Structures are given as structure tokens and as C-alpha cells.
Structure 1
């Protein structure tokens, strides 16, 4: 059942992301054909925003200023394309030399499909503030481990291709989040890109050193040790699943994946149709996002509960004071996210100190709960 859940989540994410890719290409092409220049519209918006008495006009003015500042220091498209080609060429030369199980054409295919998956991840990260690069890495494991085959080192090939894919997809979402921050803070996108480049280069040096430190200092991978590395077993299991083919998947898994993939696309179509026929009630806002729906499948229900409570608080706040909710909502959200993340530090310290919670709460199935009650009764 758990395997089915992971594949269903991946199917919904891909369906939503691919729809947005195709929709973006269509809208952009249509925009370029219909309007080649918007300078007159830009100047008229600046003129209309002169009256400070309207909140809508002030927002438009702020957005216009941010857009102008963000677009004046753009990264040249040629530089981006050449940089990606150079990185792909370096990876094509280096990875097969380190891992002979992967050939140069495997890495080439990975770099050809990575931009689409990177867009899907960046889109999902923008909606949920949660990078799901690991999910797309699992897709790479299944594809390349099956392609290489068990007799030619398909397990190792799948794991290595997962690392390549995850680095590309994860870096893309991180960079888009940096651009979003730069847009809000009136920072140069070029400086944000340079900072990301420097940080990634430093990470290429420090990450292997940190891993080597843990690998030498601790018994990494020991189920009874301090660092059991459960995800290593899970990823290896996915690679073994990939080399065995679709026949090893759970019953009806492939059928459910196709159904959920199509359902994600249909939900996006429904949202698009309702937006085109928008009424004063804005019904399209109540159509769930497939990307957000997929996350609880993978992470668990607690994340969906947090999002639901946060949306409810914001909804009530907007009913009482829409202006303050719009101004202070991002600050409150940032505080909640930071608080939730920082709690991991004291939680880890308490865990290392051996502190046990005074109360333990678990939710069990009816059959399991019956067994527990029977055991306690005996």
C-alpha cells in the first residue's frame, strides 16, 4: 500500500507540472504573436498608479516597480543555455568515468528530460514551499535501472542517475525561490544567481567532506546505530524494483497511476475553465490543486492538516481585515514555518539526551488495536 501511495503522489505531481509546462508554452507563444511590445501599457499603468488613495493602485505600482527593477538586470538567455550545455558536457565526461554502469547517452537523456522535471519541481515548490526533488529522483531510478538492467549494474546505475537528477531538479527550485526573494526585496536577479552559483560550488567541496566525516566517525547504515540511514535501503529497494520491471509493482498500481495522472490534468482544466468564466464568487478558488493534494500522499496527513489550519486562519483574518491580512500574512506564515523548522533542533537534542515524552499517542487500525488490547489484557 505504501508503494502505491508514493507512485500516486508522483503521478499527480507530474500531471500537474506537465500541464503547467504545456500551458505556459501555449500562453507565452500566443502572447508573443499577439503583442510584440508592451511599453505603452507599462507607461499607462505607471500613470494610473499615481493616486495613493486606492489600495489596488498602490499594489499595482509596487508590482510595477518590482517588475521593472527585476527585469533590468536579466541573465542573458545565451549564457543560461551555454552554461547548461557546459555542465551537461562535464557530467557526460565525468560520471561514466566514475561509474562505468552508466554510459554517456544515459547522462545525455537525463539532461534532456531534466528541464521539464525541474519546472515541475519549481512550480510545486512555489505553491507549497516544499521541494520534492526526491520524487523525481525516484523516477530516474526506475527509468535508468530498468534501462541498464540487472546484469549490467542497473541498481547502481539507477542510484547514480537519481543523484544526477535530484541535483538538477533541486537546484532549479532553490534558484527559483531565490529569484522570488529577489523580486520581493528588489534585489538583482544576477546577484542572486551568482550567490547560488557560489553556494553550489562550495557545497560541491563541503558535502563530500561532511559525508566522509560521518562515514568514518559513525557506523552509517547500521540499523541499530545512531545513523541507520533508512532512506538508503528504500532507494536501493526502488532500484531493485526498477530492474525487475513493471511486473514487480503492486497489483493495479500502474492503473491507479494512469488514473491519478489524468485526474490531475482534468483538475487543471476545470480550474482554467472556471477562471475563464469567472463570477463574483470565484468558484475556481475551491478547486483543489493537484500538486498540493499529492504532498500528503508522500509526507503524511500532518502536512495537509497544517496547510488547512493555516488557510482557515488566513480566510477568517481576511474576513475581518483584508488589508492587514494581505500585508502581514507572509510575515505570519514565515514565522510559523521558521518555528516549525527550528523545533527540529531542540527535538534532536532531547532525542540524543534520551528524553522520552510523558504521553505517547498512536493511531492504529482496528485489527492492530484489537491485538494490542489483547496483549495488554494478558
Structure 2
């Protein structure tokens, strides 16, 4: 089952590809299921403006156009069919096939909207309720071309009857309009384009997906993604105010080392050290948070009780007074024996020793070896 975040990210990335290929509002709406209002507001930009006019949807387009365009459309449809047969989604197959078509036929008159409607009628998806086109194999060149159901004409293959060496009408018209080739202008300074709203939305959804994969709760995701409704969280029972860090039951800072397991203290220390180092390297807080959690899980892989992302979020907030925490409650202290850094609560009167030293001395108890169920079954 695909998550909502993954589906949203896929729709936004598909919309961006379609806009770059010249698709119109209605085509993008059919493929991605995005609302027309959002498409008008965010999908198009100054670099990729919305095309003018209605989509070039026509039921008899394939049979009233030139043979060259019929052959090009058949080649594109055949490429699309190969991609879908290999497991590509229809939207990805259409975009890939059209990009390949524009690369191999740069002077083609086939528009993306026309290719979209042709594929819709081929598979009975998107803008078509049923399939009305099918592939027919030519006896002469053994290539496949598109024809209507029940109207296959094997002697009328457009690929055989097209002169591929002759320039297309579009290329000739372009040459006549251009006239002599002008001199190259002097290199100008690169134009600064405004940030594309669609790119910003894609980056935002990617962040939410990454946080979701790391196990962040919905409230922590809202705070890190700077959602406007994150300020509406209410205080939990027994707390007068709520901060962005204390979204669950708060840690016991007065007896933190005594009430926190040794393996958890080790994981928090590894996370805090990486988080502070990444922040000093000018990474954003969100990037440093995600990267530190990923690195901590790699280092502490196989621990019996891995710590949650939300707890790491609270540790980071208490360590550097972030996300609503007024003062620092944690500090990293270096152990003189093992030369490692571990967390110490400032509110704890008598903190316990270094968790790394405890882990070294009691590693057989704290980190039991995984049992080999297959070997034990054979012995039994």
C-alpha cells in the first residue's frame, strides 16, 4: 500500500515533468489528479508558462494527419507499450516515451497532449472510457502501427510509406521564417529566475516522506516541516504550557541517568554528537536531525531497544535550546577513561557514570547475542 506522502510526491514530480514537456492544465489534471486551481497556481512558472488554447484532443487526429505524423505516433505508442510491459506506470512510460521521441525527432509536430490522448484511447485510461486503438503488424517491414479496432489495414502501414529522409513541414517552415542565421549575441549574465513553487512543494513533501520513514510522529513532523497549525498543540496533562519539544511525556531530567537505560543513553550520546557536529557544518536543523538519526541507527544497529525519533528530537531540543525550549538542559561531557562524549542533565544532582564504560563492562548482558533459531532447531 502506497502512503499518502509517497502518492503526493509522485503526483507533484509527474506534474513537473508534464509542465516541462508543454502539457496543458487538463492533461496534467488527468494524469496526476491534482486540482485545476493548484495546477494554475504552482505547476507553471515563468520558465515554463502555461500553454495557450484548449488541449489538442481529437478522436480522428490519428487518421486525418500526415503519414509522417502517423508513423511517429505509432513509434511513440510502441515505445510506450514496451515500457508498460516492463512494469513502468502509464504516466512514467508516457513521459519517457515522449522524451525519447523528442530526442529522436526534434522537428516533430506531435504535441504532448496529442500523445496523451492517443495513449488514453490505446489503453482506455485517463481521458478515455474504453480502448479504441490497437497495434497492427505490417507484412512488409514487420513494424507495428496504430489502427482502430476492426479497421486494420495491413497494406496501409505509415512507416513503410513515409520518406524519413525528407524534412518535415515544420522544419521547412521554421527555416523560411528564420531567414539567414544571425550572429551570436554576446554572452549575457544568467537570469535569476524566481523559485518554482512546484519545486518548493516537492522539497516539502520529500521532507515529510523522509521524516515518516524515520518514524517521526505527526506532531514532530508538523514542527520540523514548519506547519502553521503546529502552534495549536495543547499542553499535556500536568503541564502548564506546551513547547515544540515536549510533545509526548517529558523526560525525567532530575533523575535522567538513573531512569534511562544504558543502551538508550549510548544511542542518545551518539545522536547528540553527530547532531552538534552537523549543525556546526552549517546544515539546517532538519537536515542535521535526520542525518544524525540515520547515522545513530547505523552505528547502533542491532541494539535490543532502539530509541524513537521523537525522543531524539526532544534530546536535540534540550541540548541546544531549540524548538521552544528556553534554556539548555543537556550538555555533552567527555569521559576521561574512554574519551567518549555522553549526555548529562544539568538538573541531575548526582549523575551516573559514562554509559560507554558501562556498556564495555556489561556488554554480554546489555547486548545479548542474537539467537540462531535454525541452529537451535537442529540441535533439538
Query: Do they superpose with TM above 0.5?
Result: no
Larger Rg: 2
TM range (shorter): under 0.3
TM-score by length of 1: 0.18
TM-score by length of 2: 0.18
Which structure's residues are more often helix, by fraction? 1
Which structure's residues are more often strand, by fraction? 2
